[in-house]
Chain A
């Protein structure tokens, strides 16, 4: 701990001292001052933008003139709940759920090893190993899978060497998840999503596991629990908020992404792509806005549940 130079403290300028005392005596005022800047930013800029967006969703695009009519109507929402759009929502939510579950399953062993078994040095290296992909450009990492999954690329080459081409062809022949090649199918899309968001799951799960007191684990084994039992009844429940915290990222990031499905998907849209194309080429900002209400509603429910499960403490 650095020593605190008391001598310098004694000669502090009088004005500063008086300001300090004033704030100390008026905690509410100093709190308001501390919060004013963040609140101004998040409350006015961010929430203001969200309100602007929601307002737009109650306008509608006049099909004849191609102009947005600025009057209150629910017409855009009627347009939103057509079968094609509902398909888009279901597809996106199912993908986000599958990606989240897979990320949790893949992240847990790594996070667990880091927290429980790795030595100080190895832990640092593993932490670096997880942070590094998080740092490297998102787009570069997405693109690397285009190289890997391409018809003439690395993945198919490995499959060929292993003599498993029949298995891959069978998988690609399956309805819905299959496609012409891995780089144009839901299967490939799913692999890329899992790869990209995995570090976002590892870090909070690891943070939660690090916080499991060693004494609790020791107590459990002292009381006669086998390692497996301790894991299921002590470690897993205590780590669960971390998994939920990580799932906020994996779920939400999958829900709103339009880059990855744009590069790997087929013509079947995801919510992000629908929003992007509605506001862009179609110029239908009301429908794009209404579309974004879907992820907002889903994430609000998700966050409320997560908060109840104590996930925010594990972030």
Chain B
């Protein structure tokens, strides 16, 4: 990639920095408040600092249970979304069939419609079918709105991949499966990774659909939400928040390195 010769205007630079600060300083505020000695209100500046809230949080099994549930749901939902999203993208890319437009719309619908619609729709289906709330009712909801992120990434990459590569592979005698394994897959690998990342993030964060499909189970967002209404022990929520941010930072950094190495 060639560097642009002209330099950015000062105003644009300032706006960019301003935007980044706006996006990040609230997260720093949480960090600060995880150390405050004030446990019932949000006084700024904090009256004193303490490390006490970390052991308090880590000793709570309800926190670990919620984290485990969220990670499990996000992992399974991401795998389902990867499979379904790639299949849909492949079909839409490859052929011009009747109803193609309808399918590309259907895929985006769960994310384009407000989450509450998806949530209450699944809830009414769960009610009508007398299904019990479980790990899988959460997964079904999450996978449904995660498909679109994988689909979007993969179809965008496929559109940029030269069709002639696939044709050349077939002409040289490779079977459909070999072409997929050695030509298509390496091409879409980073798109799959990016789509999977987004799907995982969406699922890990989700609270609106989850409220309707979880029953009594607590995912991490629901756990944090239930903590918000408790006026005591507020810094525990902050510590949990730091923990969440720290654990999600690692996969993003890895994914970032991975996409960079592949020359994206």
Contact = CB atoms under 8 A, between A and B. Distances in A.
Interface of A: 1-2, 4-6, 9-10, 12, 16-17, 19-21, 23-24, 27, 30-31, 34-35, 37-39, 41-43, 45-50, 52-53, 56, 106-107, 109-110, 112-114, 116-117, 119-120, 124, 126-141, 143-148, 150, 152-154, 156-157, 195, 198-199, 202, 214, 227, 248-249, 252-253, 255-259, 263, 271-272, 275-276, 279, 285, 288-289, 292, 295-296, 299, 303, 307, 312, 315
A31 B26 contact: no
Given A113-B13, A255-B114, A136 B244 contact: yes
A202 B177 CA distance: 37
A21 B29 contact: no
Given A4-B183, A147-B29, A252-B112, 7 more contacts: A31-B97, A120-B1, A146-B228, A256-B115, A256-B116, A272-B116, A275-B120
9 tightest A-B CB contacts, nearest first: A256-B114, A20-B175, A109-B15, A144-B26, A49-B121, A117-B8, A49-B125, A140-B241, A256-B116
Nearest to B22: A195
Given A9-B174, A113-B8, A129-B23, A52 B124 contact: yes
A45 B97 CA distance: 23
Category for how many chain B residues contact A: 35 or more
A144 B169 contact: no
B237 A143 contact: yes
A124 B256 contact: yes
Contact of A16 (B110, B111, B175, B208): B175
Which of A49, A150, A249, A299 counts the most chain B CB atoms within 10 A?
A49
A258 B108 contact: no
6 contacts: A38-B147, A42-B110, A141-B26, A147-B33, A272-B114, A295-B114
A31 B93 CA distance: 11
A133 B178 contact: no
Contact of A110 (B15, B97, B123, B174): B15
Contacts of B113: 252, 256, 295-296, 299
